[in-house]
Structure 1
Amino acid sequence: MPRLAPPTAEGLRRDPLPLRGRTALVTGASRRGGIGYAVARRLAAYGAGVYLHHHVPHDADMPWGADRPEEVRAGVRAVLGDPDAPVADGPADLSDPAAPAELIARAAEALSGRLDILVVNHALSGSDGTLDTIDTAMLDAHWAVDTRSVLLLVQAYARLRAAMPPGGPGGRVVMMTSGQDIAGGMPGEIAYALQKGALASITRSLATALAEQAVTVNTVNPGPVDTDYLTGDAYEAVAARFPAGRWGMPDDPARLIAWLATDEAAWITGQVIDSEGGFRR
């Protein structure tokens, strides 16, 4: 059985740009108040080239509104750890079954033909309800965006990786879930909870399927994060349930996700990781 040699002193020194030369696609990076934007900034700060996916019509219909893509792109470019790393962006309506493969191809083309890291952050907001109020349209809409598109993105990513020249760094896939399996669940968002639960359940199977390609697959539950969707007394009530007395901020899960993309996390795969700051449910 092969054994790895212990790391050398040089190998133990931390590279300030651990993702230099690597490339990443981050989905759901439409606005500067969101987790996708925070993840993209962290990856860029670590030296990665980044492609930002956005679907502005979705956020424009939400109470928080949408940012202009050029503003999001500029904010990511401002923290580039490697000035030669590219930052690009493009739209995709991931409810379209053809869109995931097209997005992977466009991102790879914009990032010198390769894609090392896939962070699947997008999700459908709204169009949901309780067990008594959900209907087939709600279930189908969340299936299409929150689950089907994620699996199709991973499939297209795996096919791209298989066609890339051998060698180079291992790949990374990070998906997002929402703590729907933790105490209390999400009884007011049945369709969303169902589809996010499917991602948690498929994590280990995807990790096994992609292990031969040296790709790790993990899923992060960021817990309640302040992405500008709640205010007033309800906001304060949630904050009081954190031991630190504050909400999670977008950069809290972003730090974990960026670390999972580095070589330091190469031995972690098939895991659903809660990053909730001790939130009391």
Structure 2
Amino acid sequence: MEENKTKQKYALVTGGSRGIGRAVCIQLAKDLDYSLLINYNGNREAAQQTLKEVKANGGKGEIIQFDVTDAEAVNKAFDLWHEANKNAIIEVIINNAGITKDGLFMWMKPEDWHNVIDTSLNGFYNVTNALIQKLLVNKYGRVINMVSVSGLKGTAGQVNYSAAKGAVIGATKALAQEVAKRNITVNAVAPGFIKSDMTAALDEKELKKMIPANRFGEAEEVANLVSFLASSRASYITGEVININGGIYS
């Protein structure tokens, strides 16, 4: 236990280079004493910008490149990272990486089905499975999965995304029960319409009519919730799906 106190503690955010992922990295830097491990797949420049903003807010961290859908690449990246950081532990895993390929199911191409599920569901497996054993040995950890209102109520034109996020919700609840005795919590955060690259093409004026709060949410609002769940203050919350959607959930 003594050795654990001297370890450098990290929080990993997949898809941390932009949008909600970036906002989460910045909020964690402000609120918690973790070094940030900012994952990106293709946009190194955006990841560097996130790191810059983390440092500007008094935090510290580094970037790490891998595609969450590629199990071999994920394991290799973590093996190399652990080799170079022997006195460090990743205590917080935030599975934020996700993509959308919207379209009506009858016209959905196989690749649009598989790519969306690969990123959200298999990405959750590849990253969490690679690190969960270390959390169990550590006897402390936080796993936070970014899901969606689509995974709870289903959204027309998003059968693939709804399926992927719904599956992660089920996995969240099951894994929470497996690891709770080791002081590891596993929760999901389900945003509704949040201003980001992913929602930029949507008709905000029209859509906000169906949101009781009458507006899209801000990435920072989601980040505040994630930061709380990543903290020791949320130690008795596990297996939960927390909605953050301005009252839209029905």
Q: Give the structure-2-normalised TM-score.
A: 0.86
Please state if 1:75 is matched with 2:53.
yes
Residue of structure 1 aligned with 2:175, choices 202, 206, 222: 206
Task: Write out per-residue CA displacement over residues 116-142 of structure 1, whole angstroms, 9 at most, x where no aligned residue.
Answer: 10010001232x422201233222222
Please state if 1:102 is matched with 2:76.
yes
Greater strand percent: which structure? 2
Written as runs of structure 1 = structure 2, the 5 A alignment for 1:14-163 is 22-31=9-18, 34-46=19-31, 47-56=33-42, 67-80=45-58, 86-105=60-79, 108=82, 109-110=84-85, 112-126=87-101, 128-163=102-137
Q: Against the structure 1 CA distance between its residues 212 and 107, is the aligned structure 2 distance closer, same or farther, given a 3 Å change threshold? A: farther
Where does structure 1 lack aligned partners over 5 or more consecutive residues? Answer: 1-20, 58-65
Q: Against the structure 1 CA distance between its residues 257 and 107, is the aligned structure 2 distance closer, same or farther, given a 3 Å change threshold? A: farther
| Residue type of the alignment partner of 2:190 | N
Offset, 1:162: 3.6
User: Structure 1 stretches (4+) deviating beyond 6 angstroms?
Assistant: none
Q: Against the structure 1 CA distance between its residues 52 and 233, is the aligned structure 2 distance closer, same or farther, given a 3 Å change threshold? A: closer
User: Does the 8 Å CA contact 1:100/1:149 hold for their aligned counterparts?
Assistant: no
1:93 partner SS: coil
Offset, 1:267: 0.2
Matched residue, 1:176: 146
| Residue type of the alignment partner of 1:88 | E
Offset, 1:105: 4.0
Offset, 1:262: 1.1
User: Does the 8 Å CA contact 2:39/2:47 hold for their aligned counterparts?
Assistant: no
* C-alpha distance in structure 1 between counterparts of 2:223 and 2:88, whole Å: 25
| Residue type of the alignment partner of 1:44 | A
User: Does the 8 Å CA contact 2:146/2:188 hold for their aligned counterparts?
Assistant: yes
Greater helix percent: which structure? 2
User: Does the 8 Å CA contact 2:151/2:161 hold for their aligned counterparts?
Assistant: no
Matched residue, 1:216: 185
* C-alpha distance in structure 1 between counterparts of 2:25 and 2:204, whole Å: 26
User: Percent same amino acid at aligned positions?
Assistant: 25
Q: Against the structure 1 CA distance between its residues 225 and 207, is the aligned structure 2 distance closer, same or farther, given a 3 Å change threshold? A: same
Task: Write out per-residue CA displacement over residues 219-252 of structure 1, whole angstroms, 9 at most, x where no aligned residue.
Answer: 0101110004445881112233333332100011
1:180 partner SS: helix
User: Does the 8 Å CA contact 2:26/2:50 hold for their aligned counterparts?
Assistant: no
Where does structure 2 lack aligned partners over 5 or more consecutive residues? Answer: 1-7
What number of residue pairs does the alignment pair up? 241
| Residue type of the alignment partner of 2:178 | A
Q: Against the structure 1 CA distance between its residues 213 and 136, is the aligned structure 2 distance closer, same or farther, given a 3 Å change threshold? A: same
| Residue type of the alignment partner of 2:27 | R
* Higher mean C-alpha displacement, 151-160 vs 37-46: 151-160
Task: Write out per-residue CA displacement over residues 199-231 of structure 1, whole angstroms, 9 at most, x where no aligned residue.
Answer: 011211100111232210000101110004445
* C-alpha distance in structure 2 between counterparts of 1:233 and 1:197, whole Å: 22
Task: Write out per-residue CA displacement over residues 58-77 of structure 1, whole angstroms, 9 at most, x where no aligned residue.
Answer: xxxxxxxx853322210111
User: Does the 8 Å CA contact 1:23/1:50 hold for their aligned counterparts?
Assistant: yes
Q: Give the structure-1-normalised TM-score.
A: 0.77
Q: CA RMSD in A?
A: 2.4
Offset, 1:56: 2.4
Task: Write out per-residue CA displacement over residues 56-107 of structure 1, whole angstroms, 9 at most, x where no aligned residue.
Answer: 25xxxxxxxx853322210111112xxxx53100211122121333344455
Task: Write out per-residue CA displacement over residues 142-182 of structure 1, whole angstroms, 9 at most, x where no aligned residue.
Answer: 22211112112111121222454x6xxx2100001111254
Matched residue, 1:6: none
* C-alpha distance in structure 2 between counterparts of 1:233 and 1:101, whole Å: 36
